[in-house]
Structure 1
Amino acid sequence: MKLTGIAFSLLLLASSVASAQSLTGPQKNAVRSAELYLSISGFSRVGLIQQLSSSAGDGYSVADATAAVDSLSVDWNTQAARSAAIYLQISGFSCNGLIQQLSSSAGDNYTQSQATYGAQQAGAC
């Protein structure tokens, strides 16, 4: 069976709604926090989970933060491009330097592929 674009979108939406309904109260709250963070800045999946679960951040359990982030439909490449653009507004970076910053565990924790995409989209490469 071949799905049209609209049918496929409706299927994804139904799946998201079902997924969101299966979340616990704390996980639903973590989703709201995650959506707020994503509206403000670019985050990697790992970085967003760390922000939500950090005692200096929101203090959700790692399990609740992970469930919340994984319930969202996020284009991590787009997030990497947003983060890269912000870095380039602040300072100059070489292509490799920006990829390192974006992919480093001391930086943003994007995957190497996401970091490369972000740096390219931001114009550093």
Structure 2
Amino acid sequence: GEKDSYFTFYIKEVQEYLNILIKKLETIKEEKTRLEEELSRKNVEITIKNKNIADLQELLKQTNDEKIKIALKADNYNTMVNSLIRENENLKKQIKDLQNQIITLNSKLESLQNVSTFQKIKSIFIKSDEH
């Protein structure tokens, strides 16, 4: 009688306690699932961010390579411009020399106007050869 009712009571208590534990376990499982999903999402985000970083690094590398190429081109153009300027200076000097030669020849011709044609021609060649 009394023993049976005590055992019945005890079994009920144990069952309630087990039910509580089962509920707690379910709650913990749900939380675990939620955390795993969140972790998975975060991992996807990290993967995307790492890819973005890699893309940006590649872009930066390409930009730096372009910068170097442009700098080299600029150097080549500067060298070219400088050599053209030098060539231009040389040509100016040559023109000036030719102008001076023309002036010299003109003055020789003027000074020879009183001499016979044959003498003129002869003197021009002789005096020009000295140069």
Give the TM-score, by structure 2 length: 0.21
Asked which structure has the greater RCO (Cα within 8 Å, sep 6+), the reply is 1
More helix by share: 2
Give the TM-score, by structure 1 length: 0.22
